[in-house]
Amino acid sequence: MKNYRVVIVVCFLSCAFISASGQTASSDAGLTANPVFVQNCAKCHGSNAEGRHFRGPSLVSGKVESASEDELRNLITHGKGHMPKFAGKLSSSEIDTLVQQIEHLKKK
């Protein structure tokens, strides 16, 4: 009976660890889970960053993939065309985080 309890505890802890690992991976959705993206970018670039018809382009497109970090940072900061400028609205660290998260999308 004692061995049975040990097996149950080990199974329980293993399941808890696997579940926690899965939650960590899924909650780390990066760009699309970032509140700054959700509030400022998703309405044009889509909630999944794949763009919206007649709105902002996909952030996983070839054009964005070829942009350097400096180009992305400049675009977010100063805007271009229909893209509004976010200087003064977002902090430099928020912009840097967005750039890093967009870069991470390129690697997927």
**Number of Cβ within a 10 Å radius of residue 98:** 22
What does the pLDDT read at residue 55? Answer: 82
What does the pLDDT read at residue 69? Answer: 96
Q: pLDDT per residue over 30-80, tens digit each?
A: 999 999 999 999 999 999 999 987 788 999 988 899 999 999 999 999 999
* Residue scoring higher pLDDT (105 or 6): 105
Domains parsed from the chain with CATH numbers: 30-106 (1.10.760.10)
